[in-house]
């Protein structure tokens, strides 16, 4: 037990490097928030564009979504950060991680939103159109509210899974929590900073899990 305490729960070391971990904590929060907002908004926008059934755009969206879902996010982050500069395009580590993870979330969100749109019964479309509503009005006022409600459970789960990949930003020198923990671990020759990082991720994502359960319950269809 003494060895476990010394290596993983060494309070003096934790207190010494707490400011660095707090700084990394807030960067992780900022990155996660940017990913969620951008990814969900883009995913919904792509699903709406796809609903208009413009064939060239639909093909482009499907190909883009399939590629983003097939390639591991780590590979995409490394490619954007290290390869694009050879083409004259340079992004910081933070922006690279944000763009990649937001696009990956958007790809999954688009498929989830699209599944929700197509699951709305055709009669809902026909009834709305018969009242004089145009296609866009029907989509916005009748179909989307039902589709979004149907997609809440899978969407919240996928959002949490992808957002946890903020730890991948450590490979492109973003000073988020894992990077800070690994750095101070090297300085202190002790793994307690990694324990602090684990606690930090728990503080960020456990409330999100609870919130997702509440949202699923709040907006679930009633029997």
What was the pLDDT predicted at 98? Answer: 95
What was the pLDDT predicted at 219? Answer: 65
DSSP percent split of the chain into helix, strand, coil, nearest 5: 85, 0, 15
Q: For the chain, list the domains and their CATH numbers.
A: 2-218 (1.10.3720.10)
Q: Are 105 and 35 in contact (CB under 8 A)?
A: yes
Q: What phi and psi values does residue 100 have, to the nearest 5 degrees?
A: -65, -50
Give pLDDT tens digits along the chain (223 positions).
Answer: 777 777 788 888 888 888 989 998 999 999 999 999 999 999 999 999 999 989 999 999 999 999 999 999 999 999 999 999 998 899 999 999 999 999 999 999 999 999 989 888 888 887 878 888 888 888 888 888 888 888 888 888 888 888 888 888 888 878 888 888 888 888 888 888 888 988 998 898 888 888 878 877 776 655 4
What was the pLDDT predicted at 187? Answer: 82
What was the pLDDT predicted at 112? Answer: 93
Q: Are 201 and 19 in contact (CB under 8 A)?
A: no
The CA–CA distances, whole Å, from 65 to 15, 61, 68, 107 equal: 44, 6, 5, 5
Continuous H helices in 52-143: 55-70, 73-78, 93-119, 122-130, 135-138
Instruction: Tell me the C-alpha distance between 116 and 129, whole Å.
Output: 19
């Amino acid at each position: 037990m003494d060895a476990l305490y010394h290596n993983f729960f060494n309070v003096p070391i934790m207190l010494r490097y707490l400011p660095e971990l707090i700084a990394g904590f807030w960067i992780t929060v900022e990155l996660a928030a940017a990913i969620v907002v951008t990814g969900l908004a883009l995913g919904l926008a792509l699903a709406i564009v796809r609903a208009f059934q413009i064939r060239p755009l639909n093909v482009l969206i499907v190909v883009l979504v399939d590629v983003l879902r097939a390639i591991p996010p780590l590979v995409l982050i490394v490619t954007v950060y290290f390869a694009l500069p050879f083409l004259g395009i340079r992004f910081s580590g933070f922006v690279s991680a944000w763009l990649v993870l937001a696009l990956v979330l958007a790809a999954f969100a688009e498929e989830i939103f699209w599944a929700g749109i197509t699951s709305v019964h055709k009669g809902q479309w026909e009834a709305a159109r018969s009242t004089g509503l145009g296609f866009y009005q029907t989509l916005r006022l009748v179909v989307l509210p039902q589709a979004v409600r149907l997609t809440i459970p899978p969407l919240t789960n996928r959002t949490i899974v992808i957002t946890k990949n903020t730890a991948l930003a450590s490979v492109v020198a973003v000073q988020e929590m894992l990077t800070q923990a690994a750095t101070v671990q090297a300085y202190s020759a002790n793994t307690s900073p990694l324990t602090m990082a684990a606690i930090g991720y728990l503080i960020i994502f456990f409330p999100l899990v609870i919130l997702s359960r509440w949202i699923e319950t709040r907006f679930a269809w009633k029997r």
